[in-house]
Structure 1
């Protein structure tokens, strides 16, 4: 079993776990070996503490996407679930914040409770 270099973490971790594979080669379209991932390499993502993951979400999502409202947004992370609560200036940012949070490695589920002011 091998994977292409652009395979996602879930695409590689699940077969490794299901089949008890310790190392997985990554091969490009030409069949050239590009690297080998070990079971430990993949687990490192999930071995971060809840506090480390919350900090990662704050730095990579909130501080970049909502810099002017970052103090109004609370980020919590518990057992794979990220929660975003608070106020943002533009309702269009809410869905984007949820999607970006979900893309952070280690996040299994996102509860996005961000709100934007309603226009009158």
Structure 2
């Protein structure tokens, strides 16, 4: 076997070894973090029906906050739920400025998916 071929095989072997080592290390780290961490509290999201939203809106004690995430074009043709807050964007709004500061506030977001 030529010296050039041996050198080439050594380099390829070193690269493959480095990849396997880094993958094994990352995998071991992930397993360790799973074993040492307590389960995360699940998010409390739910899809609600229009009749449920209407009853929340009618109940003065529900303190529900409704947010419209539609664009201006759709709002002008489809309208807006009365009392809804208009978000400045459907995906890049300023949470601190546009949502209530209370972490336990009831929030309802709606938008139309025209796709």
Same fold (TM > 0.5): no
Please give the TM-score of this superposition, normalised by the length of structure 2: 0.21
Please give the TM-score of this superposition, normalised by the length of structure 1: 0.21
Higher strand share: 1
Q: Over alpha carbons, which structure has the higher Rg? A: 2
